[in-house]
Amino acid sequence: MSASIASRVALTAPILLLVSFLVFSLLLLLPGDPALVILGPEASPEQVRRLAGELGTDRPIAVQYVNWLGRAFAGDFGRSTRTGQPVVAAIRERLAPSIELAVVGMTMAFVVGGSLGLVAGWRPGTLVDQVTRAFATLGIAIPTFWLAILLILWLSLRLGLLPPSGYVPFIEDPAANLRAMLLPGITVAMPMAAVIARTVRASLLEVRNEMYVVVARAKGLSERAIFTRHVLRNAVIPILTIAGLQAGRLMGGMAITETVFAIPGIGRLAVDSVLARDFLTVQGVVLVMAVWVLVANLVVDVLNLAADPRITRL
CB count within 10 Å of CB 163 equals: 18
* AA identity, residue 210: E
Into how many domains does the chain fold?
1
Q: Is residue 41 part of a domain?
A: no
Q: Is residue 192 part of a domain?
A: yes
Q: Is residue 26 part of a domain?
A: no
pLDDT at site 311: 57
pLDDT at site 250: 77
Q: Is residue 240 part of a domain?
A: yes
pLDDT at site 258: 92
Directed axis angle between helix 174-207 and helix 127-141, to 10°? 120
Is the CB of residue 65 less than 8 Å from the CB of residue 21? yes
Q: Which runs of consecutive H residues, i.e. helices, occur in the chain?
A: 2-28, 34-39, 45-55, 61-73, 87-122, 127-141, 144-151, 174-207, 211-218, 223-226, 232-260, 266-275, 279-307
Distance, in Å, from the CA atom of 136 to the CA atom of 117, rounded to the nearest integer, reads 10
Distance, in Å, from the CA atom of 95 to the CA atom of 76, rounded to the nearest integer, reads 16
pLDDT at site 314: 44
Residue range of the domain that includes 233: 94-265
pLDDT at site 19: 85
Q: Is residue 177 part of a domain?
A: yes
CA 178 and chain centroid, separation: 20
The CA-atom distances, in angstroms, between 243 and each of 36, 113, 132, 265, 311 are: 43, 10, 17, 22, 19
**Residue 292: HSE in the Cβ half-sphere, 13 Å Cα cutoff:** 21
Residues in the chain: 314
Cross-strand partners of 86: 79
Q: Is residue 252 part of a domain?
A: yes
pLDDT at site 183: 94
Q: DSSP secondary-structure letter at 165? A: S
Tens of pLDDT, residue by residue, the chain (314 residues)? 566 667 777 777 888 888 888 888 876 776 666 676 677 777 778 877 887 777 777 677 788 888 888 888 888 888 887 888 899 999 999 999 999 998 999 899 988 998 898 888 888 888 989 999 999 999 989 888 899 999 999 999 988 889 998 899 989 899 999 999 999 999 999 998 999 899 888 888 887 777 877 787 778 877 777 777 777 776 677 777 777 777 767 776 788 899 999 999 998 998 888 888 788 888 889 888 888 888 887 887 777 777 665 555 54
What's the CATH code of the domain at 130?
1.10.3720.10
CA angle 58, 60, 65 (to 5 degrees): 100
Is the CB of residue 237 less than 8 Å from the CB of residue 307? yes
pLDDT at site 293: 82
CA 46 and chain centroid, separation: 41
Q: Is residue 40 part of a domain?
A: no
Q: Is residue 248 part of a domain?
A: yes
Q: DSSP secondary-structure letter at 86? A: B
Distance, in Å, from the CA atom of 207 to the CA atom of 185, rounded to the nearest integer, reads 32
- Report the candidate in 33, 41, 80 with the shortest Cα–Cα distance to residue 58: 33
